[in-house]
Amino acid sequence: MSCSDDPTGTRATATTGGSVRRDQVTVALLGATGSIGTQTLDVVAAEPDRFRVTALGAGSSVDALAAQARRIRPEVVAIADADLAAELAAAVPAGTEVLAGPDALAEAALAGDVVVNGVVGFAGLPVTLAALGAGRRLALANKESLIAAGPLVRRVRSTPGAELVPVDSEHAAVHQCLRANDRAERLSRIVLTASGGPFRGRSRAELEHVTIDDALAHPTWSMGPKITVDSSTLMNKGLEVIEAHELFDVDLDHIEVVVHPQSIVHSMVEFTDGSTIAQLSLPDMRLPIGYALAFPDRIATPFGRIDWAHLSRLDFEPPDLDAFPCLGLAYDASRTGDTAPAWLNAANEVAVAAFLDGTIDWIRIPEVLERVLSRHDGSTADSVDAVVDADRRARHVARLEIERLP
Ligand code: NAD
Ligand code: MG
């Protein structure tokens, strides 16, 4: 039985022992130590009668994960780095099941009615596939899995009971706006909003020598380093265009991006009669996280409310595709299809890591992506092995292209 069988979002659980109340929704939280992970714990802590965390998983931050386990007392903890298994086991409460290794997070996902995927990067793919394949609700923050493996995710979404509710704020907004009309043919466009990041308004020349600290200083959102850099290049919005295309099955020609520096309008949907529905709230990820946990209900806790007396203006402007070419590259990769989005995602992960470790300048990130995409081999994304292989190959090509940069 999955959450979607019970529209109230409350159900008895068969998967866990005596400490779970029959009316609680159990939550498996992967990527627990990150920005999405810790904010998910805030949401659960705000509504403890309703939600209970039964599994926690992380990549390698063993101390933070163990501290969470001692506080939250899940049934299962999982760490992707197998070498840290013994250290984790020694630091968690007695009786906690410890899983370690490449499949550990996907296995831990099965301990929840709702699976929150807050892992960063392509490493989140096994959790996405395991959650949907087991007929669970997937509260998806990990956009990279959807972008790299769109055709596979599409397939596994049809598993009975499986349900994908986006956590990404723009897509949570679109998900809410779409509830204003139930006829897909009456949708005319999705408008994704972008804050514009820390470099909004700068020309290409002015972006030549920006630093790591400049790129990590996001004006409206506090997030993990990878997505913060993605926001500075507009790659995040590019990935989100592909994410919207995959999630809502809407053609790319009907997905647009508008820059909205205040990050209050989280996205919009326009219908054929010209009516536009928008979702507005303060920029706080705990709202979309709570939405994905409670859907089709809502949590009772507002994490901030708009003060209309002080919200004096909402600005909108077109994105600058010359200064921020990553957005256009994402449309191109999605139009090419097959493993092109997987290549784009992999190349981006490599390029962002190279920027963050000081190997390449920020301005080189789109250049690396362009060079890698021009070498895309046209392979199809028809199996997990094919996608994993495409990811590996694109990373290899990206490293070569970085070495070749002048
Ligand atoms: P983060 O860097 O703060 O946290 C990442 C988490 O993933 C950590 O718990 C880490 O232990 C885990 N992890 C890292 N490598 C791993 C691996 N190889 N295997 C398993 N686990 C691994 O990142 P974040 O900002 O929380 O972002 C997580 C995801 O959510 C990303 O896909 C991001 O695009 C998306 N997202 C984040 C926000 C946000 O506000 N932070 C908003 C929208 C979408
Ligand atoms: Mg977003």
What one-character-per-residue DSSP string does 21-75 give? -TTPEEEEEESTTSHHHHHHHHHHHH-TTTEEEEEEEESS-HHHHHHHHHHH--S
Q: What is the pLDDT of residues 270-308, one digit of tens each?
A: 999 999 999 999 999 999 999 999 999 999 999 999 999
For ligand 1, whether the C-beta of 33 sits within 6 Å is yes
pLDDT band at 20 (very low <50, low <70, confident <90, very high): low
Ligand in closest contact with the CA of 167: 1
Mean pLDDT, residues 369-383: 97
pLDDT of residue 182: 85
pLDDT of residue 7: 32
Cβ–Cβ under 8 Å, residues 22 and 13: yes
Q: What is the pLDDT of residues 196-248, one digit of tens each?
A: 999 999 999 999 999 999 999 999 989 999 999 999 999 999 999 999 999 99
Ligand 1 centroid, distance to 120 Cα (angstroms)? 3
Q: What is the DSSP letter of 168?
A: S
* Sign of the torsion formed by the C-alpha atoms of 392, 393, 398 and 403: positive
Closest CA to 199 of 237, 244, 242: 237
Ligand 2 centroid, distance to 135 Cα (angstroms)? 25
Tokens 């990373």, residue?
A: 395
Read off the tokens for 296: 């089709």
**Helix locations, 186-224, DSSP H:** 212-215
Rounded to whole angstroms, the Cα distance separating 373 from 336 reads: 10
pLDDT of residue 19: 62
Rounded to whole angstroms, the Cα distance separating 43 from 289 reads: 7
Ligand 2 centroid, distance to 267 Cα (angstroms)? 10
Main-chain phi, psi angles of 8, to 5 degrees: -75, -15
Ligand 1 centroid, distance to 319 Cα (angstroms)? 26
pLDDT of residue 68: 98
Around ion ligand 2, residues with a beta carbon closer than 5 Å are: 168-170
For ligand 1, whether the C-beta of 143 sits within 6 Å is yes
Indicate which atom in ligand 1 lies nearest the CA of residue 221.
Answer: 40
pLDDT of residue 166: 98
For ligand 1, whether the C-beta of 221 sits within 6 Å is yes
Q: pLDDT over 90 for what percent of the chain?
A: 93
Distances (CA, A) of 338 to 146, 147, 342, 376: 13, 10, 8, 10
Tell me the sheet residues that pair with 116: 29, 139
Check: pTM over 0.85? Answer yes or no: yes
Read off the tokens for 372: 């890698």
Give the closest residue (by CA) to ligand 1 atom 16. 59
Ligand 2 centroid, distance to 170 Cα (angstroms)? 5
Q: Mean pLDDT check: name the lowest of 12-16, 60-64, 337-341.
A: 12-16
Rounded to whole angstroms, the Cα distance separating 377 from 380 reads: 9
For ligand 1, whether the C-beta of 170 sits within 6 Å is no
Ligand in closest contact with the CA of 283: 1
Helices 384-404 and 125-133: crossing angle in degrees, nearest 10, is 160
Ligand in closest contact with the CA of 292: 1
Rounded to whole angstroms, the Cα distance separating 146 from 166 reads: 11
For ligand 1, whether the C-beta of 59 sits within 6 Å is yes
pLDDT of residue 21: 72
Ligand in closest contact with the CA of 349: 1
Ligand 1 centroid, distance to 180 Cα (angstroms)? 31
Closest CA to 57 of 3, 100, 13: 100
Cβ–Cβ under 8 Å, residues 3 and 163: yes
